[in-house]
Amino acid sequence: MSKQIVSTEKAPGAVGPYSQGIVANGFVFTSGQLPMDPATKVMETEIKKATAQALENVSAVLQAAGSGLEKAVKVTVFLKDMADFKAMNEVYATYFNKDCPARSCFQVGDLPLSAIVEVEAIAMI
C-alpha cells in the first residue's frame, strides 16, 4: 500500500510539518483546515463565516484528491468555544444536508494561529 500527498493552492498551506491531505487505501484524510482565506491569508473571526471558510478549505483539499464533501464519511469539528456550536451547526447543515457523514465536535483550549474553528474530514475517493 502506498500513500499519495494531496496539495492545493485552493486551501491554506500547512503551518507545520504536515500535508494538507493524504490519499491511502481508497480514502482521503484531510488535515485540520482553519478558516483562513487561501488567497488573502485573512483568518475569519466570526463563527458563521469561519465555519464556511474552514469547510470550503476542506472541500478544496478533498477535490484536489478526486473526492468531495458528498463522499465524506467522518468529519471532526474543533471549536474554541462550545457556545459557538449552534451557529457552527447552522452553517455546517448547509454543506451536509443529505446522507450526512458521522461527526464529532469538541471544544479545545486553543487552535493554531488562534483560530476559532478547525475542521478535518475523511472521505472516500
Tens digits of per-residue pLDDT, 59-73? 999 999 999 999 999
Q: How many CB atoms lie within 10 A of CB 98?
A: 5
Could you report the per-residue pLDDT of 91-125, keeping only the tens digit for each? 999 999 899 999 999 999 999 999 999 999 999 99
pLDDT at 1 over 80: no
The fourth-level CATH superfamily of domain 3-124 is RutC-like (3.30.1330.40)
**Is this prediction's pTM over 0.95?**
yes
DSSP 75-109: EEEEES-GGGHHHHHHHHHHH--SSPPEEEEEE-S
Pairing relation of β-strands 102-107 and 27-30?
A: unpaired
Enumerate the β-bridge partners of residue 24: 3, 27
Q: What is the pLDDT of residue 15?
A: 82
Segments making up each domain of the chain, as ranges: 3-124
